[in-house]
Chains A and B, each alone.
Chain A
Amino acid sequence: MMNQPLLQKKDNLTSIQSARLSFPALDQSVNDHPLVYFDNAATTHKPLSVLKSIDQFYSSYNSNVHRGVHSLSEKATEQYENARKSIQGFINAESAQEIIFVKGTTDAINLIAQSYGRSNIQAGDEILITEMEHHSNIVPWQILAEQNGCKLNIIPFNEKGELILENLDQLLSSKTKLVSVVHASNSLGTVNPIETIIRKAHLKGIPVLIDAAQSIQHGKIDVQKLDCDFLAFSGHKIYGPTGIGVLYGKKTLLEEMPPYQGGGDMINYVSFEKTTYNELPYKFEAGTPNIAGGIGLGAAIEFFQSYDINSIIAKEQALLKYGQKKLLEVPGLQLIGTAENKTAVFSFVLKDIHPHDIGTILNQYGIAVRTGHHCTQPVMAHYKIPATVRASLVFYNTEREIDFLVEKLHAVNEVFK
């Protein structure tokens, strides 16, 4: 069972609406307009409790972890390890030893590629990914392929942006040594049926890594129920600070893996003849970690868990439905990514107006969107477009903000009429 947060759940609609007040940065004007922050898939804003936890660390018990006998170091270690336990409870890992602090999702995938990959994947072996991966779940495998001659296989997607799984059994060949798939696409919003993929891969004894960077903040993830072998996410996309993220791995797999980086904290005993490594999770955490980041992420998880997850899902899905309807009122607007099951991500193109021009004009009205290829160039190639505009929403956004976006997209059309 998941650890229940100490705070009572704020599960009614009013509390979801007022959640916005917890985010100081949302309350500002940009170019003389109230900020409309629609770039949450890039990074979410941070609630006051997260900012305070970081401030408290630096202004009162700033100290290094795992090595001091003095009081400050003891407190820092305790808070840092408590954050690890919060994360363990949040994703329902069996043990806190399975929670490795990393820089973010990219760092986690590189760790798996260089540690698990180099010791378990050989020349001629295959790694199965999807056509909608972020570059961070493509390039680490290409680097591995250059090092050891393994090969990448791709699960394609259809025009709606949904994975085509008819041939999954063939794609999971006797040579496949790892499946690494994105749970929710950052550029399309598609939520993939990872349960099916994990089940089918496991039938053939193939481990699965889940990139949860764009799903962890939108639903409930239970790693034991999913039975995924590895899972990665970034703190800053779930209301936490940047520079901290999590790699979850099954203990049996992590124990067999060699260290990723060498240095302090990750050793048991060092001599010039022989070094023995520390136990999990420290074996993978060389050097002084991002202590403030870990503590901040712990606070973010606590903040997130203080809301009923079903209320968050309901609010975000309502925003999705509303936005899908309203955006299509803009003449010439085409949504890219229309999967049945998706997050509140609106990727779109508008006539032949370049997304950068749209982004610049929207910014003049205080609307923050992302424009470009979103680090998913194969997705852009699939749709034969160079870029999209992406508005990505979370539960603190509102229907009124969507109305304002739609109004200003009409204005964009006017400029380029």
Chain B
Amino acid sequence: MSNLNELYQQVILDHNKNPKNYGQLPPPCCSAEGKNPLCGDHIDVYLTIEDGIIKDLKFEGDGCAISKASASIMTTVLKGKPVAAANEYLEMFQDLVTSDQPNEEHKGKLGKMAIFRGVHEFPTRIKCATLAWHTVKDAVAAG
């Protein structure tokens, strides 16, 4: 059961129960809706960007513990970062959960997000973990 404990770590369960930055942001802000058609999960993310910096970031939606916790922790990681960092983080995160040998340097940069490495052992759940990140990318692209 070690894989399972790795996946459902206490931090992930806590964020699932009490997600950070849950809710909407008032306009003007960038927003996008992310969907996982396979399971019907959806997430809305809202960003306020000032001078190329992500000033505020919120999300809401229906999803599993993995997608909810990933979104919650993501908001804490990206808040205050330059917009360009969002894509960079997405790539590092993608590498963390999909690669057999993830880049150790990225693991350090990802900080708290690194606990999602356990998802690697559950291929069907990778989309759950990355949904929020892809949605942020869409929101930024939509302006």
A interface vs B, CB < 8 Å? 353-357, 360-361, 364, 371-373, 377, 380, 386-387, 415-416
**What chain A residues lie within 8 Å of B65 (beta carbons)?**
353-354, 357, 416
Residue from B13, B40, B125 in contact with A387 in the complex, judged by beta carbons closer than 8 Å: B40
**Most chain B beta carbons < 10 A, residue from A353, A354, A364, A371:** A354
Q: How far is the CA of A92 from the CA of B63 in the complex (A)?
A: 46
CA A354 to CA B43, docked complex, whole Å: 14
Are A386 and B62 in contact (CB-based, < 8 A)? yes
B20-72 contacts to A (CB < 8 Å): 38-42, 62-66, 68
Residues of chain B within 8 A (CB-CB) of A387 are: 39-41
Let me know if B128 is at the binding interface, CB within 8 A: yes
B7 within 8 A of A: yes
The residues of A that contact B1 with a CB separation of less than 8 Å are: 364
- Is residue B3 contacting chain A, with contact meaning CB distance below 8 A? yes
CB-contact partner of B64 in A356, A364, A380, A415, under 8 A: A356
Closest 5 CB pairs of A and B: A354-B64, A356-B64, A373-B40, A386-B62, A372-B39
- Residue on A nearest B13 in the bound complex, by CB: A416
Is B85's beta carbon under 8 Å from chain A?
Answer: no
Chain B contacts with A in 115-137, Cβ cutoff 8 A: 122, 124-125, 128
**B125 A380 Cβ-Cβ under 8 A:** no
CB nearest to B5 among chain A residues: A415
State whether the Cβ of B4 lies closer than 8 Å to any Cβ in chain A.
yes
Residues from chain A with Cβ under 8 Å of B3 in the complex:
364
In chain A, what residue has the closest Cβ to B40? A373
CB pair B4–A361 under 8 Å, yes or no, is yes
Q: Could you tell me if B4 and A372 are in contact, using CB atoms closer than 8 angstroms? A: no
A356 and B4 contact, Cβ closer than 8 Å, known pairs A415-B13, A416-B13: no
Are the C-beta atoms of B64 and A372 separated by less than 8 Å? no
Q: Which single residue of chain B is at the shortest CB-CB distance from A358?
A: B64
- When distances are taken between beta carbons in the complex, the residues of chain A under 8 Å from B42 are 386
Give, as a whole number of angstroms, the nearest-CB distance from B120 to chain A. Answer: 13
Q: How far does the alpha carbon of A357 sit from the alpha carbon of B39 in the complex, in Å? A: 12
Question: Chain B interface (Cβ within 8 Å of chain A)?
Answer: 1, 3-4, 7-8, 13, 38-42, 62-66, 68, 122, 124-125, 128
Q: What separation, in Å, do the CA atoms of A386 and B42 have in the docked complex?
A: 9
* New A-B pairs, 20, CB < 8 Å, besides A360-B124, A372-B38: A353-B65, A354-B64, A356-B41, A356-B125, A357-B65, A360-B4, A361-B4, A364-B1, A372-B39, A377-B40, A380-B40, A386-B39, A386-B40, A386-B41, A386-B62, A387-B39, A387-B41, A415-B4, A415-B8, A416-B65
Determine how close the nearest CB of chain B comes to the CB of A380; give it in whole angstroms.
Answer: 7
Cα-based distance from A416 to B10 in the complex (angstroms)? 10
Q: Are B13 and A360 neighbours in the complex by a CB distance under 8 Å?
A: no
What are 14 A-to-B residue pairs whose CB atoms are below 8 Å?
A353-B65, A354-B63, A355-B64, A356-B39, A357-B8, A357-B64, A357-B65, A360-B7, A372-B40, A373-B39, A386-B41, A387-B41, A415-B13, A416-B65
> Considering only CB atoms, which chain A residue lies closest to B4 in the complex?
A364
List B contacts of A371 (CB < 8 A): 39
Bound Cα distance from A415 to B66, whole angstroms: 13
Provide the bound-state CA to CA distance between A353 and B65, in Å: 8
Q: A415-B13, A416-B13 are in contact. Are A357 and B66 (CB under 8 A)?
A: yes
A356 contacts across to B, CB distance below 8 A? 39, 41, 64, 66, 125, 128
In the bound complex, what is the Cα–Cα distance between A387 and B128 (angstroms)? 14
* Alpha-carbon gap, A181 to B64, bound state (A): 32
Alpha-carbon distance A357/B41, docked complex (angstroms): 13
Residue of A372, A377, A380 with most chain B CB atoms under a 10 A cut-off:
A372
* Docked complex Cα distance between A243 and B4 (Å): 35
Q: Report the separation of the CA atoms of residues A354 and B64 in the bound assembly, to the nearest whole angstrom.
A: 5
Q: How far is the CA of A386 from the CA of B124 in the complex (A)?
A: 18
Docked complex Cα distance between A416 and B38 (Å): 24
Q: Which of A355, A360, A373, A377 has the most CB of B within 10 A?
A: A360
A353 to B1, CA, bound (A): 19
CB-nearest residue of chain B to A386: B62
Measured between beta carbons, the chain B residues less than 8 angstroms from A416 are: 13, 65
Q: Which residues of A contact B128 (CB under 8 A)?
A: 356
B4: chain A residues within 8 A (beta carbon): 360-361, 364, 415
A374 CA to B9 CA, complexed, in Å: 28
Q: How far is the CB of A66 from chain B (nearest CB, A)?
A: 39
Chain A nearest Cβ from B12, distance in angstroms: 10
Nearest residue, chain B, Cβ from A354: B64
List residues of chain B with CB within 8 A of the CB of A372.
Answer: 38-40
A332 to chain B, nearest CB (A): 15
How distant is A331 from chain B, measured CB to nearest CB, in Å? 17
How far is A384 from B91 in the complex, measured between Cα atoms in Å? 35
Residues of B within 8 A of A354 (CB): 63-65, 68
Task: Give Cα distance in the complex from A387 to B38, angstroms.
Answer: 11
Give the residue name and chain of the B residue nearest to A416 (CB): B13
- Return chain B residues, CB-CB under 8 Å to A377: 40
Closest partner residue, chain A, to B63 (CB atom): A354
Min C-beta distance of A13 to chain B, whole Å: 36
Assess the B125–A360 pair: CB atoms within 8 A: yes
CB atoms of A360 and B122 under 8 A apart: yes
